[in-house]
Amino acid sequence: MIRSATVQFQHRPGDKRYNLSQVERFCQQAAEQSVQVICFPEMCLTGYWHVRNLDRDEVDTLAEPVPDGSSTKSLVELAAKFDLIVGAGLIERAGDGQIYNTYVVALPDGAVYHHRKLHCFISPHFSSGDSYTVFDSPLGCKLGVLICWDNNLVENARATALLGADILLAPHQTGGTASRSPYAMGRIDPQVWDQRAVNPDLLRTEVNGPKGREWLLRWLPARAHDNGMFLLFSNGIGRDDDEVRTGNAMILDCYGRILAEVAEPEDAMVVADLDLSMLDKCTGRRWIRGRRPELYGVLTKRSGHELDPREARFSEASTERAN
C-alpha cells in the first residue's frame, strides 16, 4: 500500500512566501497521517491566472531555475523533513532564458524531477515542454506528471502509461473557466466566491455542477481507467484573479473509481491508500496489451489544422476542417 494525498488551496498571486507556507502546512498534516506522496496544484507557488497579464520582466521576476532556485530547494527541504514525496508547481527559468510552467517533484533523498507543461497557453512569454516525465520512485513504482491541459489530450496520458507510470500526478488550475465550448465548464461569477459566507449553497452548487465536478467526471476517470494508472488530481480553489477555481481535489484508482475527494470548496487535503496489486490485470492494462501500434501512424501525422497551445486555447475560430 502507498498512502497518497492531494491538495486544493487558494494561492496568493505572486506571494511565494505565503504559498510555500501553505505547502508546508499540508505537508505537516500529511506526515501526521503517514502519507508518502503528496500532490499540490499547478503553479501554486507563484500564482496562476494573474500571470497572463504580466510583461516579460514581471514574469522573469517570479521565475526561478530548477533545481537551483529557492522554491525547489524549499520543496527538497520539506520532502526530507517530512519524509514524503512532494510535488508542486512554479514558473521555471531555463538556462537558455526560456520560461516554463513547471511541476517540481522532490524526493526525501534530495532527488528532484520536473515536468514542463506540454501545452502551455498562459502567456506568450512561456514556452511549452517537449518531453514526457516518468521516473522511478522509492515507493517501488513509477510516477508520471501531466499538468492541467496536458491531461485533456488523450495521447499524453497514454504515452505516460506506455512509459511505465503507475501513479499519475495531475496538478491543475481548472474549473470555472470561460470556455468556447458550450457544454464544457463555464465562468463562475467571482461574487459567488466572495459572498460564500452568506450563500454557501450557491458556491457548492457551482463547484459541483457542470462548471466543476460534473465536467471533470466526464473525462478524468477515463485517464486513470483506460491507461491503468492511479491518479492524484489537485487543483486551486476560490478566486484566481477574475475566475473561480472549483477545487474538487480527488484520488482515483486504476479503474477510475474515486477513492477520496474534497467535499467542500475550501483549502483542504484528502488521503487514500493505493493498492498497487490492483494494477495487475486492471482493465486499462489488459486493454493496452491488445494495442496494434502498426495502425496508429495517423496519430503522428499532422492533419493541417493544428494550432499552437495558446491559439488552440483561446481561438474563436471554427474547428471544422476546410474541404
What's phi and psi for 168, nearest 5 deg? -105, 120
- Find the angle CA(161)-CA(42)-CA(49) to the nearest 5 degrees: 135
pLDDT tens-place string over residues 164-173? 999 999 999 9
Q: What's the pTM?
A: 0.96
Q: For residue 321, what pLDDT band results from cuts at 50, 70 and 90? A: low
CATH superfamily of 2-295: Carbon-nitrogen hydrolase (3.60.110.10)
- DSSP lists the bridge partners of residue 252 as 231, 258
Q: Which three cell numbers stand for residue 124?
A: 506568450
Residue with cell 470548496: 265
Q: For residue 320, what pLDDT band results from cuts at 50, 70 and 90? A: confident
Long-range CB contact pairs, 159-165, < 8 A, 24+: 159/132, 160/132, 160/133, 160/134, 160/227, 160/229, 161/227, 161/228, 161/229, 161/284, 161/288, 162/288, 163/132, 163/134, 164/134, 165/134, 165/229
pLDDT tens-place string over residues 69-119? 999 999 999 999 999 999 999 999 999 999 999 999 999 999 999 999 999
pLDDT tens-place string over residues 130-166? 999 999 999 999 999 999 999 999 999 999 999 999 9
Whole-angstrom distance, CA of residue 253 vs CA of residue 282: 10
Domain ranges of the chain: 2-295
- DSSP lists the bridge partners of residue 161 as none
What's phi and psi for 246, nearest 5 deg? -100, 0
Give 50's DSSP letter: G
